[in-house]
Structure 1
Amino acid sequence: MTEGPLISLRAITKTYGQGAAAFQALKGVDLDIPRGQFVAIMGPSGSGKSTALNILGCLDGPSSGAFRFKDIAVEDLSRNQRALLRRHYLGFVFQGFNLLSRTSAQENVELPLLYRGAETAQRHAAAREALAQVGLTGWEHHTPAELSGGQQQRVAIARAIVTRPLVLLADEPTGNLDSQRGHEIMDLLVSLNREQGITIIMVTHEPEMAHYADRVVKFVDGLVASDERRERA
């Protein structure tokens, strides 16, 4: 029996505002993402790519259409149920790192486990393991001000994977980094995808970063304009 897609969008629309001020950010998006795939989403400003990522991350809901995650009808979930889905299945990485400035790397990574109510010893061990996975063993007690931009993004990735999510959603993860650090972060994401099987959905405007993905989906004017699959090296 063939396993269905991990994520499925059907005729997804999203409209902001009402009446003459209404803006339709998504106009009927169909998209299937199988488990374990690395997908890059591209498109010009206003194309709907960030709106799509927010819906995929359960940070926003569609105006119409069907969104299924692990065969669960997400559009039918309450706000609290969507929050639980995010907490248990999704990890997030943002362009701006979003780290607590006066908090150590380890404490930043522990935050999602704190929200889950995990015990102190479990949080410490899991955070150290996640930091080791992103190459930051020995940096556990440094604050963001003591870390480079690339190291801060690694802490953010460790925080995203400490809960062992099924899906990692990355919004311009290399946008604040120089080219070398950007490629290092992309190598890390590829490693997490291939070695741990984490499904990655990344929004980027940089074609050279999109080349790391198995698949590139391009949005134009609220619709999927192209969907290119690549052979995995």
Structure 2
Amino acid sequence: MAEPLIRLSGITKTFGEGPAAFRALRGVDLDVAEGDFVAIMGASGSGKSTTMNILGCLDTPTSGRFVFKGVEVQALDRDQRALLRRRYLGFVFQGFNLLARTSALENVELPLLYRGESGARRRALAMAALDKVGLVAWAHHAPNELSGGQQQRVAIARAIVTSPAVLLADEPTGNLDSERSLEIMALLTELNREAGITVLMVTHEPDMAAHARTVVRFRDGLVERIEVQG
């Protein structure tokens, strides 16, 4: 069998020290296959967001082993983790996190600016990403001229403009109504199936989790169970 794209083994995370210490993760074991669509679910405080932060190289585990594409991530320094994040990961958040005074196109260009790409290449790649999410006609509109669903599409375009291996989505439909939520889930499913992007999504909503192939349920800092949906 092929090695998983991501492997977490015995991952722990403790915040604070002494009597006030809080064990957010108590030994998480999880494999994610390349090309999977994973929904991560659990009550508040169950450890799912802490796990996502570690997977996104935004935080480091207290102990345990995190392997990404054969690389021992827990052994990397801050700069190396930042490089991994820029090259392989895309992020979508509940709150969109778009820059208010810039156009949709400029928002999507931002990760490429950090990479040092030329202006012409940034624009070409950003327009291609906007085309994938159906928003080329809105490229020069500011976020306040877009609906919530359109803003989240811009955020997804920004996340995929670097052609990431993994898209990490934290409650991507949390601020949207039912119709817009289904549109976003259809888009994530298409990116997973057509572009081969591995999707890891935190959600509280069973209707949204139903779009995933695999559901990972967290409880009290551990993976309680894993359900394969087909």
- Taking structure 1 as the reference length, the TM-score comes to 0.98
The within-5 A match list for 1:141-180 is 141-180=140-179
| Cα distance in structure 1, aligned partners of 2:160 and 2:136 | 16
Match of 2:47 in 1: 48
| Cα distance in structure 1, aligned partners of 2:109 and 2:121 | 9
The within-5 A match list for 1:45-124 is 45-124=44-123
Unaligned runs of 5+ in 2: none
| Cα distance in structure 1, aligned partners of 2:225 and 2:10 | 16
CA offset digits 1:104-134 (Å, max 9, x no partner): 0000000000000001110000000000000
Among the aligned pairs, what percent are the same residue?
69
| Cα distance in structure 2, aligned partners of 1:3 and 1:32 | 11
Counterpart residue type for residue 187 of structure 2? L
Displacement of 1:166 in angstroms is 0.1
Aligned length: 230
| Cα distance in structure 1, aligned partners of 2:98 and 2:148 | 11
Match of 2:217 in 1: 218
Match of 1:8 in 2: 7
Counterpart residue type for residue 169 of structure 1? L
| Cα distance in structure 2, aligned partners of 1:15 and 1:179 | 36
- Taking structure 2 as the reference length, the TM-score comes to 1.00
The within-5 A match list for 1:125-204 is 125-204=124-203
| Cα distance in structure 2, aligned partners of 1:3 and 1:117 | 34
Match of 2:38 in 1: 39
Displacement of 1:142 in angstroms is 0.2
SS of 1:201's equivalent? strand
Unaligned runs of 5+ in 1: none
